[in-house]
Amino acid sequence: REKLKQYNTVDDAVELIKKSKRIMVLGGAGLSTSCGIPDFRSKDGIYAQLQHGDAQYAQALSDPTDMFNKEFFLYDPTCFFSFAKQIFPSNFKPSPSHRFIKLLEDKQKLLRHYTQNIDTLEDAAGIEKVLHCHGSFSKAACTTPGCTFTVPGSYIKEDIFAQRVPKCPKCSEAEEAKKQAKSGKSQKNWKADDNDDDDDDELDALPGIGVLKPCITFFGEALSGEFDQCVVQDREKVDLLIVMGTSLRVAPVSELVGHIPHSTPVILINRTPVTHLAMDIQLLGNGDEIVDYLCKRLDWQLPLPKPSKE
């Protein structure tokens, strides 16, 4: 996509938001840093912490992104579960940036919020038209191929905080039965059974099989089909794209920018510039301060944070 020449300034941004009726928001970790959740790629982000902060992780991970790699997870689920409590959504409250997106919805201007975040703060902010592109901790599912056992995120919360690997109860039962059958067999006949499926045994041997993995999209996993469906629906309708708090480094979500019509303006609200994709207007700085400024210019009132349930 090429930059549209007619839009450049913050005044243009204000006018665009004012006149647009079907705004797509594409958000990332920068929406939640002011809530106390680090982003991934900043100097103090999760990847830098994994690489330089904790020797345990620096040793275990050849690359910090391996923490969210499906293949690595299957080999060593303990690594992810020793870390997961740090990113499990707990008592965080939505930021003014989340509340700005909610305000777009209240003003009937939000087409959809595509979030890459897994912290569920969009839900806490009450945003209804949201697509969790990278899933969330709201569910966990068994990793055994063919096992469909799925639980609400709350089911594994205790394990996450105890840094334990949560096991699928169905598969644990089956595993136990299998072990017993094997030990029975070895008493009767120690020779290998020709019908044994070696591939199955190999897969079963991976420590990450039979584990309840939070339904967040890891590298090496496909996004849900809903992402494609939403993009196809929304690209016909969108009249403005606002990109907020994301480095746009991870496909396919970053490719959304190229999927919308070229005539649709794109505004970036971010601490750091995006140089690898054409943004028409870049509003650079602290996102919360920028949305606050925009609201003043639009004569809009940000909704107040919802009172905490606890």
Is residue 171 part of an annotated ligand binding site?
yes
Shortest distance, position 133 Cβ to ligand OAD, whole Å: 8
Under rule CB under 6 A, residue 68 binds ligand OAD: yes
Under rule CB under 6 A, residue 271 binds ligand OAD: yes
Shortest distance, position 35 Cβ to ligand OAD, whole Å: 10
What pairs with residue 273 in β-bridges?
none
Is residue 295 part of an annotated ligand binding site?
no
Under rule CB under 6 A, residue 45 binds ligand OAD: yes
Is residue 215 part of an annotated ligand binding site?
no
Under rule CB under 6 A, residue 70 binds ligand OAD: no
Is residue 147 part of an annotated ligand binding site?
yes
Site string (107-126) toward ligand OAD, x via CB under 6 A:
---------x----------
Under rule CB under 6 A, residue 213 binds ligand OAD: no
Under rule CB under 6 A, residue 132 binds ligand OAD: no
Under rule CB under 6 A, residue 64 binds ligand OAD: no
Shortest distance, position 222 Cβ to ligand OAD, whole Å: 12
Q: List residues binding ligand OAD (CB under 6 A).
A: 28-30, 33-34, 39-42, 45, 65, 68, 116, 134, 217, 219, 245-247, 249-250, 270-272, 286-287
